[in-house]
Structure 1
Amino acid sequence: MLDEKTIEELHSYYDRLPGGICLVKADDSEEILLANAELLNYYQCANWQEFKELTRGTYRGMVEASDYIPLKDIVRVKGQPEANYAYFQFPYRTREGHFNKGNALLIRTTQKGLGDIWSINVMKSKYSRAPGETENITGLLGGTAFYKRVNEHIQMEKIDGIGGLYCSVYFNLTNFKLYNSNYGIEQGDELLRKVADVLRAHFPYSIIAHLNADNFALVAPRDGVIEQVEAVCREVDEMIDNFSITLKAGVFFRDPDNPSEYTANSAFDMAKIACDSIKGDASRSWATYTETMGKNLAARAYVLENFDRALRNGYIKIFYQPVVRTLTGKLCGMEALARWEDPERGRLTPDMFVPVLEDAKLIYKLDSYVVEQVGKRLHTMEDSGMPVLPISVNLSSADFDQVDPLDVVERVVRKYRLPRSYIRIEITESALVKDGKKLQREIDRFRKAGYQCWMDDFGSGYSSFNVLQNFHFDELKIDMAFLRNFNDQSRKIIKSIVLMAKSLGVHTLAEGAETQEQVDFLRSVGCEKIQGYFYGRPMKYDDLRVHCRDKNLREETRQEEFAYDKLGLINVLTGAPVALCAVNDKSMRILYENDAYKKVLEDVSVSDLR
C-alpha cells in the first residue's frame, strides 16, 4: 500500500502526461497502484475510489472478462520478452456501462518505492477520425461519427413522433484474431472490407460503422431486420468457410412508446450484450436483447466482484455426492462439488458461477480450492480412523491454461501425505474438443503419476466415441441426460456404452439415477457404479455420513474395491445376472452362473471381499 505522499508525487507527474496511464504490480496479483486522471476519464470514473470499485483494484478488472490475458503473457506472446514491452489492445466497460476498446503500450520497469511494475500507457485508437470522416480500412464510419449520427437520428425520431421504427444491430467476428494468425494481417483487413461490402449490400439505406477490429454496428428499420441479419451472417460464414470463425449478431429493439429512453451508446451496449450471449453457441447466429440478459450480466458482475471474498471468507462450501457400486450396494466413492452460500444472495448454484469463472479464466482458483479442501477432508478421515473412500474432483480445460493442475494436486497429496489413489480426476467430454492434443498430454501425465482419470458427461457431445480413440480414461461417467429421458432408445444407448467400455477395459458410472427401475436396469447391463438422487443428493460431509447411516450404505474396503474393479470389467450379458448376498458374518460370496466370474475369482481370496 502506497502512502499518501508517494501517491501525491506520482499524480503530480503522471496527471500531466497525455493519455491514460496505469501502474500495476508485476506479480500474479496485478494490483493497480495508480491510475492517472485521464484513465479515470476513459472509464467514466469521477475519482480513484470509483475506479477501484469498478475494477476491483486489479488489471483483470480493467478488461472485459472473456478477453483477459495476464500481462506477463501479453509480453510473451505479442511483445519483445527480452525488452519487456508490447503493444496490445484490450476491450473494457466503463462505469456507466459503455463498451470501449483501448490501444496500449505495456512496459515492465522498476521504480524506486514501487519495485517491479507494469506501466500501461493507453492511447487513442489509431483508426479514430474526426466526426464525419470514414474509417480507413472499410470505408465505413468510425465510432465517433457513427454515434453522433445515430443520436441525431434518435432526436429526429423524437421530434417526428415516430420512435421505435428502427433498431440497433451489433456484429462481431468471433475469433478474428485466429483469422489474422492463420492468414496474416493483410488478409484480415481484406476480410473486414468484404464484411463491410456485405453489410452495405443488405442494408443499403442504413447507418453503418466499423467500430474496431472485429466489431460492426448499424441502425436499420425493424421490419424484416432478422431475416436480413441472418442473410448477412450466412453469407459471411460461407465466405470464411471456417466453423471456428463466424459472424454473430445482437439486435436491440427500442420501446416504440419510449424511443428516447436509450442513447445511441446504451442501445448498442444492449445489442452487444445480446451478441455476446451466443458467442459460444454454434447453433445460433443472432439474438435479441432481453431483460434477462441484463440481469444475467448483473449476476455475472456480482460473481466476479465477490468471488475472491467468497473464497477468503469460506462462503464456498464443498458438498459430496455418494457413489454406489451396483454389485454390492456399498458406498465406493464420492464426488466433490462446490456450492456458494452467499450472505447477501443466498445459495448460488454452480450454473450461476462456474461458467462465469470459466469465461473469466478464474476457474483454476475454484478448482485449486476444491482440491485443497478434498485433501484436507481425506487427511481428517485417515487420522480419525474412519473408512477412507476415494473422492473425485472436477478440472476445467481452462485450468490447464492458467496453472499446472498436476502440480496443484501433487502439492496437496504431499502436504497431507495421501495415496494418489484417493483422488480421482474428472474432465468433461466437451473440454476435450477445445484443445484435444494439449489435454491428451496432461491426462497422460496424471495417469503416469498414478491418478485415475475419468471422462465426465460421456455422451453429451457429438464426438463421444471418436474421443475414446485418442484419450485414455480409467472410467466413463455416462451423462445423466440418458436417464432423464429414460426410454427404449436411451436404454439401448446406455447398454452399448457399457459393453463398449468393458471391451476397452474402461469402468463405467451412470449419473442421474433417481428410481429403482433405473438402478435395476443399470445393474442388469453391468454398469459398475451409480451416482444420483436415488442414493443421495450432494450434501455436506457430516450430513452425508448421517444420510449413509440412515440408508444403511456401508463403505466398501480397499480390498473390495480392488476385487470388484476386476469383476466390473466382465460382460455380464454373456451369462446369467449376478446376485450378491452375505453368507455369514465372516465373508461374502458371489452366487453366479457366469464362467467369466470364476476365472477372476480364482485370484481373489475371500478376505479380499470382506
Structure 2
Amino acid sequence: MGSTSLIIIALFFAMHVLMIRPLQHLMQAVQEIGQGNLTPDIAFSSKDELGQMALSFQNMGRKLKKSQWKVKRLAYHDSLTGLPNRLLFREYLQHMIALARRGNNKMAVLFLDLDNFKRINDTLGHQVGDQLLKKMAARLISILRAEDFIHRETYRNTSEVLARLGGDEFVILLPKIDDSQDAAKVASRILDAMRKSFHVDGQELYVGSSIGISLFPEDATEENDLIKRADAAMYQAKEQGRNNFQFYSASYNLATFEHLSLEGRLRRALANDEFELHYQPQVRAETGEIVGLEALLRWNDPVEGLISPDQFIPIAENSGLIVPIGEWVLRQACRQISAWQAAGLSRVSVSVNVSAIQLQRQECATKVDQVLNETGLDPRYLELEITETALMKVKPEVIDQLGAMQRKGVIISLDDFGTGYSSLSLLQELPIGKLKIDKSFVRDMLTDPKDAAIVSAILLIAKSLGLKSAAEGVETLEQATWLAEKGCDKLQGYLISRPLPAAEMAKLLKSGVITEPLKPILEIF
C-alpha cells in the first residue's frame, strides 16, 4: 500500500513537472499575448508536443507583433511614400506644443504646396506625378538642418523625416526658433532648392512651391489652428503669384472668411430669387433713338441691401457660380425683352455679359438656343458681350459655336475692346458684329491725346471691318459730341441714363427715344 502511494505521488509529481507546469506557462503566455505582450518568454524548450506548442505560440506572437507594426505603420504613414502622415504629425505637434508651453519656446509651422502639380498629373500621368512627389521629399530632407524637420518617427528620434499630408501638400515643423526670421530663412532655402529641375521618367520638370507660415504662440496656440493658419497663409502665397512664402495675416484671414461667407450667401441668393436686372439704354448717336439695352445684374441682399457686382462677380467666377447665375441673367433678360415686345414697346435688343468660364464650359450655344426657344425671342434681339481677354482664351470649338450663333442672328459684341492683346488678324477671323470701347478710354479721351488716339483707331477699325461700334461710360455732352462726330454708332452711359429697374425702363421704352441730354448733338445731325 505504501509503495503504491509512493508511485502515485511520483506520477503526480512527474505529471506536474512534465505537463501541468508547461501548460500553466502556456496559459500565462496566452494571457500576456491577449494583454498586448506579443513576445512573452516561455521558459522551456522540450521537443515533445508541448514544446512544439510553445514554439508555435512564440512564432504566432512574433507574427502578430510584425502584423501589428505593419498595421500601425499603415495608420500613421503615407501609402505612396511610406512617410509619416497627417495623423502622426498632429500627435507630434500636440506633444511639441506642450513642451513649448512649459519652456516658453517659439515654434513655426510651414505649409508647403507644389505649384501647378495638377497640370503635371493631367498631362504626364499620375505615375510621373507620384515619382515627382518622392523626389521632392528627398530634396526637402536634404536641405533642412538637423534641428529643422518635417516630422519625426517618434518623440525621441531626432532624424529628419518627411510627412505628406495628402496630394502635393507637406508640412514642416520648426520646434525651436528665436523669431520669425528663422522661419523665413528655412522657407527661402526651400524655394531656392525647388527652382532646380527634377528629372522624372526622362522628363525635365520645373515646379515651384508656395509656402504659408504660422507662428506659435503669436498666431495660434492649438495644433489645429496652427495648421489651418499656415494653410491659409499658403493660399495667400498662391494669390501673390506663387513660388513665394507668406506669413499668416489675420486681416487676410478675415477677408477670406468674408469671401467664403459671401459665396455661401450667393448660393442662397440664387435659390431665393434675390437677384434682379437693371437695364441701361444704348442710343443711336445721331437720333437719340433707343436701339439697345444692357442687362446689368443687381443683388438685393436681405441683410446688406444692394451689393455691388464688383464685389460678388469675382467670387461667382472663382466658385463656378457664374455659370448658373449667367444662365439666370440670360433667361431673365430674354424673357423681359420678349414681354416688352409683346406689349407693343420699342423693339430693342438686349446685351448680356458672358464670362470666360461660361464660354469654356462649351455649352453656351446650347443654353442660348434653349433660352431663345423657351422665351420666343428672335435671335436678332439678343447680343452677347464677351470681353477681349475671355475670347482670347476659348478653344476653337467655342469660336465655331459663336459663329453658328451669329449666323442665326445673335450679335456677338467684343466688350472692353482695347484693354486686351488681340491682334488685328485674329479680330478679322472672330465672329464679331460690334466693338465696344471701354469706358477707361472714354473717360480721359478729351484730355489725354493717347486715349483720344486709341478711341479714334478703334472706331476706324470697326468701320474698316464693317462692324458696329459703341462707347460705354459716356458721362458728359462733350464726350457724346466728340464720339458722334467720329462716327460712333451707339452711346451708353450716365449722360443718357443710369441703369434702371424693369418698371422704370418700360416707361422710357414707351417713347423710344432719349433726346433731352443730347439736344445739341441732334441739332448738328
Q: Same fold (TM over 0.5)?
A: yes
Please state if 1:206 is matched with 2:148.
Answer: yes
Query: 1:296-336: CA deviations, max 9, x gaps?
Result: 44344444434454234321111112223334344321111
**Comparing both structures, which one devotes a greater share of its residues to helix?**
2
Aligned to 2:346: 387
Compared with structure 1, are the counterparts of its residues 433 and 401 closer, same or farther at alpha carbon in structure 2 (3 Å cutoff)?
closer
Q: SS of the counterpart of 1:218?
A: strand
Compared with structure 1, are the counterparts of its residues 432 and 239 closer, same or farther at alpha carbon in structure 2 (3 Å cutoff)?
farther
Please state if 1:526 is matched with 2:487.
Answer: yes
Aligned to 2:400: 441
Please state if 1:251 is matched with 2:193.
Answer: no
Q: Is the 8 A contact 1:440 1:471 kept in 2?
A: yes
Q: SS of the counterpart of 1:207?
A: coil
Aligned to 1:239: 197
Match of 2:122 among 171, 174, 181: 181
Q: Is the 8 A contact 1:252 1:268 kept in 2?
A: no
Match of 1:363 among 299, 322, 335: 322
Match of 2:356 among 397, 422, 434: 397
Q: SS of the counterpart of 1:223?
A: helix
Q: Is the 8 A contact 1:171 1:217 kept in 2?
A: yes
Alpha-carbon distance between aligned partners in 1 of 2:488 and 2:185, rounded to the nearest angstrom: 48
Alpha-carbon distance between aligned partners in 2 of 1:466 and 1:175, rounded to the nearest angstrom: 32
Match of 1:169 among 102, 110, 124: 110
Q: Is the 8 A contact 2:115 2:242 kept in 1?
A: no
Aligned to 1:101: none
Q: SS of the counterpart of 2:133?
A: helix
Counterpart residue identity of residue 93, structure 2: V
Match of 1:499 among 444, 460, 463: 460
Query: 1:398-424: CA deviations, max 9, x gaps?
Result: 335657322322233223322111110
Q: Is the 8 A contact 1:458 1:464 kept in 2?
A: no
Match of 1:152 among 95, 107, 112: 95
Counterpart residue identity of residue 186, structure 1: Q
Computed over aligned residues only, the root mean square deviation of the Cα atoms, in angstroms, reads 3.9
Q: Is the 8 A contact 1:146 1:207 kept in 2?
A: no
Compared with structure 1, are the counterparts of its residues 542 and 146 closer, same or farther at alpha carbon in structure 2 (3 Å cutoff)?
same
Alpha-carbon distance between aligned partners in 2 of 1:518 and 1:240, rounded to the nearest angstrom: 57
Compared with structure 1, are the counterparts of its residues 464 and 367 closer, same or farther at alpha carbon in structure 2 (3 Å cutoff)?
farther
Aligned to 1:416: 375
Compared with structure 1, are the counterparts of its residues 236 and 388 closer, same or farther at alpha carbon in structure 2 (3 Å cutoff)?
farther
Query: 1:202-259: CA deviations, max 9, x gaps?
Result: 54343333221222232455206557646745764663899x9964525244475x55
Aligned to 1:472: 431
Query: 1:138-190: CA deviations, max 9, x gaps?
Result: 57542222233333333333222244xx4433333344232123222332223
Compared with structure 1, are the counterparts of its residues 413 and 153 closer, same or farther at alpha carbon in structure 2 (3 Å cutoff)?
same
Counterpart residue identity of residue 536, structure 1: S
Q: Is the 8 A contact 1:428 1:457 kept in 2?
A: yes
Alpha-carbon distance between aligned partners in 1 of 2:319 and 2:143, rounded to the nearest angstrom: 35
- What are the residue-to-residue correspondences of 1:92-491 with 2, within 5 Å? 129-131=74-76, 133=77, 135=78, 137=80, 141-163=84-106, 166-200=107-141, 203-204=144-145, 205-208=147-150, 209-220=163-174, 222-223=180-181, 225-226=183-184, 229=187, 232-233=190-191, 236=194, 239=197, 247-254=208-215, 258=218, 261-277=220-236, 279=238, 282=241, 285-400=244-359, 404-463=363-422, 468=427, 471-483=430-442, 487-491=448-452
Q: Is the 8 A contact 2:214 2:227 kept in 1?
A: no
User: Displacement of 1:380 after TM fit?
Assistant: 1.9
Q: Is the 8 A contact 1:248 1:278 kept in 2?
A: no
**Comparing both structures, which one devotes a greater share of its residues to strand?**
1
Compared with structure 1, are the counterparts of its residues 312 and 137 closer, same or farther at alpha carbon in structure 2 (3 Å cutoff)?
closer
User: Displacement of 1:452 after TM fit?
Assistant: 0.9
Alpha-carbon distance between aligned partners in 2 of 1:240 and 1:533, rounded to the nearest angstrom: 56
Alpha-carbon distance between aligned partners in 2 of 1:303 and 1:128, rounded to the nearest angstrom: 42
Alpha-carbon distance between aligned partners in 2 of 1:466 and 1:268, rounded to the nearest angstrom: 51
Aligned to 1:37: none
User: Displacement of 1:580 after TM fit?
Assistant: 6.4
Alpha-carbon distance between aligned partners in 2 of 1:465 and 1:287, rounded to the nearest angstrom: 41
User: Displacement of 1:381 after TM fit?
Assistant: 1.1
Compared with structure 1, are the counterparts of its residues 543 and 290 closer, same or farther at alpha carbon in structure 2 (3 Å cutoff)?
farther
Number of aligned residue pairs: give it: 429
Percentage of matched positions with identical amino acids: 28
Alpha-carbon distance between aligned partners in 2 of 1:431 and 1:316, rounded to the nearest angstrom: 24
User: Displacement of 1:433 after TM fit?
Assistant: 4.0
Counterpart residue identity of residue 270, structure 1: R
Alpha-carbon distance between aligned partners in 1 of 2:276 and 2:124, rounded to the nearest angstrom: 47
Alpha-carbon distance between aligned partners in 1 of 2:432 and 2:182, rounded to the nearest angstrom: 50
User: Displacement of 1:374 after TM fit?
Assistant: 1.0
Query: 1:514-560: CA deviations, max 9, x gaps?
Result: 344443443344333333333333331223456789997159xxxxx
User: Displacement of 1:337 after TM fit?
Assistant: 1.6
User: Displacement of 1:339 after TM fit?
Assistant: 1.2
Does 1 or 2 have the higher relative contact order (CA < 8 Å, sep 6+)?
2
Counterpart residue identity of residue 488, structure 1: P
Considering only CA atoms, is the larger Rg found in Structure 1 or Structure 2? 2
Compared with structure 1, are the counterparts of its residues 142 and 475 closer, same or farther at alpha carbon in structure 2 (3 Å cutoff)?
same
Counterpart residue identity of residue 494, structure 1: V
Q: Is the 8 A contact 1:440 1:470 kept in 2?
A: no
- What are the residue-to-residue correspondences of 1:14-25 with 2, within 5 Å? none
Counterpart residue identity of residue 188, structure 1: G
Query: 1:357-413: CA deviations, max 9, x gaps?
Result: 333323221111112211221122112211121111122233356573223222332
Q: Is the 8 A contact 1:173 1:215 kept in 2?
A: yes
Counterpart residue identity of residue 379, structure 2: R
Aligned to 1:568: none
Alpha-carbon distance between aligned partners in 1 of 2:368 and 2:342, rounded to the nearest angstrom: 20
More moved, 497-506 vs 228-237: 228-237
Compared with structure 1, are the counterparts of its residues 482 and 273 closer, same or farther at alpha carbon in structure 2 (3 Å cutoff)?
farther
Alpha-carbon distance between aligned partners in 2 of 1:554 and 1:263, rounded to the nearest angstrom: 67
Structure 2 segments unaligned to the other structure (5+ residues): 1-70, 151-162
Compared with structure 1, are the counterparts of its residues 460 and 411 closer, same or farther at alpha carbon in structure 2 (3 Å cutoff)?
same
Aligned to 2:470: 509
Normalized against structure 2, the TM-score is what?
0.69
Counterpart residue identity of residue 500, structure 2: M
Compared with structure 1, are the counterparts of its residues 322 and 153 closer, same or farther at alpha carbon in structure 2 (3 Å cutoff)?
farther
Q: Is the 8 A contact 1:172 1:275 kept in 2?
A: yes
